[in-house]
Structure 1
Amino acid sequence: MTRTRRMIRQTLTIARRDFVATVFTPIFLLFLFAPVLLGSFSTIGALAASNVGGTGDNSRMVAIVPAELAKPMTEADARLRGVFRRDETPPALTILAPARDPGRQARAAFAAKNYDASAVLYGPPDRPAILYAPRGPRSADYLAVLARETLADARLGAAKPTVVATRTAFDAKRPPRADRGGSGFLAVFGIFFLTLFLSGQVVGTMAEERNNKVIEVLAAAVPLEAVFLGKLLGMFGVAILFVAFWGTVVGNIGALMPPTMTAALGGLSPPVGGPMFALLFVSYFTMAYLLLGSVFLGIGAQASTPREIQMLSLPITILQMVMFGLASAAASRPGSWIAMVAEVFPLSSPFAMAGRAASLPGLWPHAAALAWQALWVAIFVGVGARLFRRGVLQSGSARLFWRRRNTVDTGVS
């Protein structure tokens, strides 16, 4: 058996050992259903926040107008609201008859007990005065447009021109630039979320085996490079199992989505084609996991206690957030200098190249990027194994400077 084949076999043995030791435990079920727990906590938090600050339904726009304008204003309000999406609809309109002093009445409307006034309109219909609260500038703009439409309806009546538009859906062959930018960000965020959730577990894989001295037995039997790469592949197998499980669940739920949402997602078609983009997304997720996992494995191998692992969690999370920010900036400006920096820098390259696949055509840059990222995986694994050998096992040609000790000459002259 050649040396390469022996190392591959040893690597796969370590990977299978770590995969089985992780998956066939009750704790893995808790990890597998962690998104359900996180989603439940998020839903509970959102419901609590909406209950605490849920005064939006009590918000009102108030119009103090004569009785002859009440009906035209109500009809114009109903017509204008048809162009708003449900989450952007202005507050409900309340119409009041003018009192002796409309200005004083308008100011008193902000102190009403049965509603919260965001803006109040009063005065002549052609020169209305509008008062608005700190959060009511948009309501004030809406009331100004509503006053114009109401006055036109009242004065012109049946003579007001009507427009009957013919609307035809058009399937553009090329998605708009804004859609391509949105697709790029979704690709970056998808890989970032998966790696943030999954790659962090690699940090603590060496601590337990360092404490029970198993790592010394493994290091004596197989090369440390095979140990590191095997552990990395084993944890990646766990990540693939996690993604496959939730991918199947989300895929079945996606079949129940409304046709409008499905059409909106279909409009985010990447320039490289749907099947090729899916293949590139999986490839870049693999490389992102291996790159970040190899770095985390090398850093975590230097920790010997759970406390040290916890101290490493913050810089690791900060590193992931920086890579996400850099790749997001690249996705919003494809082809720029910041996009080139993000695509070349090893740790951000998978994120940025996934965003590029969703925004720009061309396949040869992806082949070069995957080869470049694979090279850095090998470098990180080799460097991590060497640091562990010299710094922790204290073997090799040299020791790390912070682990060197001053020798004392005890010889007798």
Structure 2
Amino acid sequence: MIETIRAAFVIARRDFSAIIFSKSFFFFLLGPLFPLIIGVAAGGLGQQVRDDIDRPVIGVALEASQSAKLVEARTTLSKNLGNGAFPELLLLPNVHPTDPEIKAKLNKASKPLTAIVSGSLEAPVLTGSAPDVKRWSGKIALLSETALSGSNPITVKADFVGTTGSSKKRTQIATAQGGQIILILLTMILAGMVLSNLVEEKTNKIIEILAAAIPMDAIFLGKLFAMLGMALVGITVWTTLGFIGVTVINAGIPNLAAPAVGWPLFCILLVLYFSMAYLLLGSLFLGIGAMATTVREVQTLSMPVTMGQLLVFFLAAYTVTKLGEPIEWFAVLFPFSSPFAMIARAAQMDNIWQHGLALIWQAMFTLIIIRFSVMLFRRNVMKTGNSARKKNLFARMRG
């Protein structure tokens, strides 16, 4: 085992150095920046559309007559200023304006509430998180002044809460979805290089020279971790450039709720689950490279794997809101969807031990795939030599 690890380290160092110090690696780093720019622009447009559709809702806990006046004032002003200028108002008939437990009502309404206005029209009180209260205090004051038909300015009293349960749940789901999207994009961009590297060395007969001196398990393991190291270098460069870009253009980082495990641990788990997703898909590509001898065969075999990866991503994305249900447990236990499902759990569940078990399970399955890939390579290339290349692809898969 120690000799295998040492040999794998030699192969990993060789491949890593050859890739990092090559001229093409610089252009590889620049490649994803162009779709990233397009993605940021499309994301901005999508966010604008979501803002137009997902209107904030403010609960109204006033006397019945004053609630009616406030709703009427909103209707009047919306005709002149546009419906999007004011939040939707939801009457709360069972909530008294002076109810001491009004903060608890934020999470118990029929719709997720941004804030609740209580008190009276003459002295309204807006209860909600600090950003929401600051954003809508002016609009509530204007609605109150219009409802009273007076010229005296209205001052809205703020009653802050840390964060509402409904908004926290929604934003944690958004954090989970963001983590899944980052994993699938990086994995699909970077994992294919494992396949091209192996096929290139098979074509040049380099792999056969290495196999004569080093165990095949060590070669495959070394290549896989060399590519993972290259991927992490690329991610580090892209992340650094991204933070610099955000700082320069002052665009700001999206306001996402803190994951249940906290941001530091969530970022560590994001790196670990990316590594496991990369190793799982990369080991599968190594098995494909062991069977393929031409570029055409590589394309034939890799396309179903890529489509399958998208399917397991869709499975994990579908189960984000179904924690604990059988379909979600299946996504957690199925190795190829497990990294995506577990990063969603990290955003919504605070228990840590489950991530240790998941990482061990994914690592074990990676080793199983590597072992199977080595068996295929020995059977199709090393043992049969040139005669294996004369067989068709289906015959080689059957051995």
Output the TM-score relative to the length of structure 2. 0.68
Q: Name the CA shift for 1:341/1:26 in 2 (closer, same or farther; >3 Å).
A: same
In 2: Cα distance, 1:331 partner to 1:257 partner: 32
Please report how far the alpha carbon of residue 319 of structure 1 lies from its aligned counterpart in structure 2 after TM superposition: 1.3
In 1: Cα distance, 2:181 partner to 2:36 partner: 17
Correspondence for 1:97: none
Structure 1 residue 229 corresponds to structure 2 residue 221:
yes
Which of 390, 396, 406 does residue 379 from structure 2 map onto?
390
Secondary structure of the corresponding residue to residue 268 of structure 1: coil
Structure 1 residue 27 corresponds to structure 2 residue 27:
no
1:227-263 Cα shifts (integer Å, max 9, x gaps): 111110111111011001011112233445769x54x
Please report how far the alpha carbon of residue 314 of structure 1 lies from its aligned counterpart in structure 2 after TM superposition: 1.9
Please report how far the alpha carbon of residue 394 of structure 1 lies from its aligned counterpart in structure 2 after TM superposition: 2.6
Correspondence for 1:199: 191
Correspondence for 2:361: 372
Q: Name the CA shift for 1:322/1:401 in 2 (closer, same or farther; >3 Å).
A: closer
User: Which consecutive residues of structure 1, in runs of 5 or more, have no partner in the other structure?
Assistant: 50-71, 86-152, 407-413
Which of 7, 10, 15 does residue 10 from structure 1 map onto?
7
Q: Name the CA shift for 1:281/1:257 in 2 (closer, same or farther; >3 Å).
A: farther
Secondary structure of the corresponding residue to residue 172 of structure 1: coil
Please report how far the alpha carbon of residue 76 of structure 1 lies from its aligned counterpart in structure 2 after TM superposition: 4.1
Structure 1 residue 78 corresponds to structure 2 residue 81:
yes
Q: Name the CA shift for 1:254/1:382 in 2 (closer, same or farther; >3 Å).
A: same
Please report how far the alpha carbon of residue 179 of structure 1 lies from its aligned counterpart in structure 2 after TM superposition: 1.7
Output the TM-score relative to the length of structure 1. 0.66
In 2: Cα distance, 1:374 partner to 1:335 partner: 23
Q: Name the CA shift for 1:384/1:169 in 2 (closer, same or farther; >3 Å).
A: same
Correspondence for 1:103: none
8 Å contact 1:203–1:301 — kept in the other structure? no
Correspondence for 1:216: 208
Please report how far the alpha carbon of residue 209 of structure 1 lies from its aligned counterpart in structure 2 after TM superposition: 1.4
Please report how far the alpha carbon of residue 388 of structure 1 lies from its aligned counterpart in structure 2 after TM superposition: 0.8
Correspondence for 1:249: 241
Correspondence for 1:402: 395
Structure 1 residue 345 corresponds to structure 2 residue 334:
yes
In 2: Cα distance, 1:241 partner to 1:9 partner: 22
Structure 1 residue 329 corresponds to structure 2 residue 310:
no
Please report how far the alpha carbon of residue 401 of structure 1 lies from its aligned counterpart in structure 2 after TM superposition: 8.3
Please report how far the alpha carbon of residue 221 of structure 1 lies from its aligned counterpart in structure 2 after TM superposition: 0.7
Please report how far the alpha carbon of residue 190 of structure 1 lies from its aligned counterpart in structure 2 after TM superposition: 1.1
Correspondence for 2:309: 320
8 Å contact 1:185–1:332 — kept in the other structure? no
Q: Name the CA shift for 1:221/1:45 in 2 (closer, same or farther; >3 Å).
A: same
User: Which consecutive residues of structure 2, in runs of 5 or more, have no partner in the other structure?
Assistant: 46-74, 89-145
Structure 1 residue 363 corresponds to structure 2 residue 352:
yes
Q: Name the CA shift for 1:328/1:41 in 2 (closer, same or farther; >3 Å).
A: closer
1:58-137, aligned counterparts within 5 Å? 76-78=79-81, 80-83=83-86
Which of 168, 171, 178 does residue 176 from structure 1 map onto?
168
In 1: Cα distance, 2:332 partner to 2:20 partner: 34
**AA at the equivalent of 2:205:** K
Counting matched residue pairs gives: 309
Q: Name the CA shift for 1:178/1:21 in 2 (closer, same or farther; >3 Å).
A: same
User: What percent of counterpart residues are identical?
Assistant: 36
Instruction: Indicate the structure (1 or 2) with the bigger Cα radius of gyration.
Output: 1
Structure 1 residue 354 corresponds to structure 2 residue 355:
no
Q: Name the CA shift for 1:301/1:220 in 2 (closer, same or farther; >3 Å).
A: same
Please report how far the alpha carbon of residue 405 of structure 1 lies from its aligned counterpart in structure 2 after TM superposition: 11
Please report how far the alpha carbon of residue 38 of structure 1 lies from its aligned counterpart in structure 2 after TM superposition: 2.6
Correspondence for 2:287: 298
Q: Name the CA shift for 1:214/1:162 in 2 (closer, same or farther; >3 Å).
A: same
